[in-house]
């Protein structure tokens, strides 16, 4: 078996499955998807003679088996089953499980589906060529239905070379995931009017890396149903799953309303209105509600998918009430964070043991880097709403090998910093192993993701990438922000009072609600991803409210510094209420 460069001879181990992005479908989930396809969509199949069904990464056959059992025997008797997988033992198991079920034909083969569809007599990009090649792979042309849980392997795991190769072969752009290529290949196998039942990571709904896949699905398919299964833990993996059911159609098809259901575990004290035996049973809900499943409580949201024309915008769940909410924000905002400040990710050294230490003073004097190159380092461990407690000053410092020359960042000249030079040269072998840095034309002693030294002199708002609550705080000038956090500096032409306005808006309960409406990139246990692509789109109140919010935030910081906890909490409530009022919205309880 060959998945993301991993050679396997039999069923993959747990470690190999994790590395290769292989998550076999749980039987209950396979049965749900199969039943949805069989009862709601296969009935639209116009051909009474035969039915062609494909799973391009069938594993042990769980999805094909579930679909077979969901089909009436008469339909099964005219069904041709086609499966691909790269594990010979998995293919044998799949054949065994499907044997004797009364199919018209069954062809489950040990072969890599992507390699098969990539074999060509010319160099055309097959993302747009497969259906135009009648002489090529006839067994996977004119497919009536694809049901699949393709491997989920991100760019970082694939490696840059394999990612580039997939991008070239399947006409992909941006960060390439293995399942992106599978979706393109599956699309070309389907006939017009054929259906796809896709089980995959929900990341494509909200991330920049998923933008090209969102565009592809909206262009090639009429979306029939979307389910974000969130942190329901239906998989024994960190991947949060989603289900996409869609009909292949023409590029110029009219968009239609797609039912969208989203389910995440509740973190608050909401009372469940109904009790269900399984997570999947809750998907029969017609309206948004809180439900109980055994000892856990979930919020099931029901609405319609909004895709938007801009592919960079996440797909969101909307309803009449949500549309009015968004409209109120849009009408009353003065702009977004990106209009007022610069939102950046922190530094990434890719050699933390060399550049980041808490014992610089213990080094020999001749190898202790010059003080001007050492800066306090902010990480998520120090994150605290509004302002870091003075007693929690960072102890770790980063060696930042850059200077500002005529407004531009430049790596230090080693002869100007002899002590830092001796220290870095002592670790040169380790640093030069970062071949990707050398290939980019950088000096061997640079860090991978730096920023201008001048930026670090400015006041900053920092915040952790992953957090269960919005935690935005002030970072002092000269402090550097690590790559597990992001940071904001005010643009030079923007009035200074907006700095605290942004801080207060970012820490408000309103922004939690805004995030969940517009982005909803949640992980387990209610943790959210506060990435720059989301924070840059946070709304900013108009001037009248901005000044009032800034004034309250300033008094709040003074109160927090003095240790007056009661007054600080009261001022936080006042700032929070002002933010909601600025958008003419009633404060909601946000989970």
Distance (Å, rounded) from C-alpha 108 to C-alpha 99?
11
Per-residue pLDDT of 86-101, as tens digits, reads: 888 889 999 999 999 9
Six token digits for residue 264: 């995440």
Amino acid 185: pLDDT: 87
Q: How many CB atoms lie within 10 A of CB 43?
A: 8
172, 211 Cβ separation under 8 angstroms: no
Amino acid 240: pLDDT: 86
| Confidence check: pLDDT of 46 > 60 | no
Six token digits for residue 432: 């030069």
Q: How many CB atoms lie within 10 A of CB 366?
A: 9
CATH number for the domain formed by residue range(s) 343-582 = 3.90.220
Lowest model confidence (mean pLDDT) among 81-90, 261-270, 500-509? 261-270
Alpha-carbon 266 to chain mean position? 20
User: Of 5-9, 171-175, 465-469, which one has max mean pLDDT?
Assistant: 465-469
350 or 48: which leads in pLDDT: 350
Average pLDDT of the residues in 518-544 = 90
Within 48-87, where are the H helices? 62-70, 73-76
Q: What is the mean pLDDT of the chain?
A: 84
Helix (H) / strand (E) containing 462: strand 460-464
Lowest model confidence (mean pLDDT) among 31-45, 158-172, 575-589? 158-172
157, 18 Cβ separation under 8 angstroms: no
Average pLDDT of the residues in 400-405 = 93
Q: Which pLDDT band holds residue 207 (cuts at 50, 70, 90)?
A: confident
504 or 309: which leads in pLDDT: 504
209 or 519: which leads in pLDDT: 519
Average pLDDT of the residues in 470-483 = 92
The length of the chain is: 591
Per-residue pLDDT of 311-345, as tens digits, reads: 778 898 988 889 999 999 999 999 999 999 999 99
Alpha-carbon 576 to chain mean position? 28
Kindly list the domain boundaries of the chain, sorted by start residue.
343-582
Average pLDDT of the residues in 151-164 = 61
Per-residue pLDDT of 422-445, as tens digits, reads: 999 999 999 999 998 998 899 999
Percentage with pLDDT > 90 across the chain? 46
Q: Which long-range contacts (CB under 8 A, 24 or more apart) does 69-75 make?
A: 69/31, 69/34, 69/101, 70/31, 70/34, 70/35, 70/37, 70/38, 70/39, 71/38, 71/42, 73/102, 75/42, 75/51
Average pLDDT of the residues in 4-11 = 38
Percentage with pLDDT > 70 across the chain? 83
Average pLDDT of the residues in 103-124 = 71
Residues 6 or more apart whose CB falls under 8 angstroms from that of 61 comprise 55, 83, 93, 94, 95, 97, 98, 108
pTM: 0.82
Amino acid 200: pLDDT: 87
Per-residue pLDDT of 501-526, as tens digits, reads: 999 999 999 999 999 999 988 887 77
| Confidence check: pLDDT of 448 > 50 | yes
Beta bridge partners of 409: 404
Q: Which pLDDT band holds residue 19 (cuts at 50, 70, 90)?
A: very low
| Confidence check: pLDDT of 18 > 70 | no
167 or 297: which leads in pLDDT: 297
165 or 408: which leads in pLDDT: 408
């Amino acid at each position: 078996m060959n998945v993301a460069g991993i050679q396997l001879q039999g069923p993959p181990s747990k470690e190999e499955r994790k590395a290769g992005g292989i998550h076999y479908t749980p039987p209950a989930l396979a049965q749900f998807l199969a039943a949805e396809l069989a009862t709601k969509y296969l009935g639209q199949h116009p051909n009474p003679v035969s039915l062609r069904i494909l799973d391009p990464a069938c594993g042990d056959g769980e999805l094909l088996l579930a679909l077979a059992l969901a089909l009436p025997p008469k339909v099964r008797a005219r069904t041709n089953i086609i499966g691909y997988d790269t594990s010979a033992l998995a293919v044998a198991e799949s054949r065994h499980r499907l044997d004797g079920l009364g199919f018209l034909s069954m062809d489950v083969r040990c072969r890599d589906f992507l390699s098969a569809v990539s074999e060509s007599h010319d160099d055309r990009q097959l993302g747009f060529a497969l259906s135009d090649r009648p002489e090529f792979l006839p067994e996977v042309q004119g497919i009536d239905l694809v049901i699949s849980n393709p491997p989920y392997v991100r760019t970082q795991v694939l490696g840059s070379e394999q990612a580039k190769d997939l991008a070239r072969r399947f006409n992909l752009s941006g960060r390439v995931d293995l399942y992106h290529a599978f979706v393109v290949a599956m699309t070309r196998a389907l006939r017009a009017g054929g259906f796809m039942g896709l089980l995959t990571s929900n990341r494509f709904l909200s991330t920049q890396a998923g933008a090209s896949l969102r565009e592809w699905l909206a262009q090639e398919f009429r979306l029939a149903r979307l389910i974000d299964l969130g942190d329901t833990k239906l998989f024994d993996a960190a991947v949060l799953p989603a289900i996409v059911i869609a009909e292949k159609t023409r590029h110029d098809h009219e968009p239609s309303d797609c039912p969208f259901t989203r389910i995440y575990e509740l973190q608050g004290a909401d009372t469940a209105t109904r009790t269900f035996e399984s997570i999947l049973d809750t998907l029969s809900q017609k309206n948004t509600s809180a439900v109980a499943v055994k000892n856990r409580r979930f919020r099931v949201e029901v609405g319609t998918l909004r895709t938007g024309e801009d592919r960079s915008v996440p797909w969101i769940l909307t309803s009449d009430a949500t549309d009015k909410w968004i409209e109120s924000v849009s009408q009353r905002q003065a702009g977004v964070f990106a209009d007022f400040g610069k939102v950046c990710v922190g530094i990434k050294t890719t050699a933390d043991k060399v550049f980041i230490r808490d014992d610089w003073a213990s080094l020999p004097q001749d190898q202790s880097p010059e003080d001007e190159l050492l800066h306090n380092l902010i990480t998520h461990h120090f994150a605290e709403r509004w302002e870091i407690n003075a007693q929690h000053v960072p102890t770790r410092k980063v060696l930042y090998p850059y200077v500002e020359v005529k407004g531009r960042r430049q790596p230090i000249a080693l002869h100007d910093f002899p002590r830092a030079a001796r220290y870095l040269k002592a670790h040169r072998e380790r640093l030069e192993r970062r071949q990707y840095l050398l290939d980019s034309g950088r000096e061997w002693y640079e860090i991978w993701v730096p920023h201008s030294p001048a930026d670090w002199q400015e006041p900053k708002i920092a915040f952790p990438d992953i957090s269960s609550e919005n935690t935005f705080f002030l970072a002092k000038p000269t402090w550097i922000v690590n790559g597990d956090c992001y940071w904001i500096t005010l643009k030079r032409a923007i009035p200074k009072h907006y700095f605290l306005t942004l801080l207060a808006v970012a820490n408000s309960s309103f922004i939690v609600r805004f995030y969940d409406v517009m982005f909803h990139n949640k992980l387990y246990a209610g943790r959210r991803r506060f990435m720059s692509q989301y924070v840059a789109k946070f709304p900013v109140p108009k001037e009248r409210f901005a000044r009032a919010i800034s004034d309250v935030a300033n008094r709040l910081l003074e109160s927090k510094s003095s240790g007056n906890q009661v007054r600080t909490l009261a001022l936080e409530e006042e700032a929070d209420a002002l933010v909601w009022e600025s958008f003419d919205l009633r404060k909601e309880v946000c989970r």
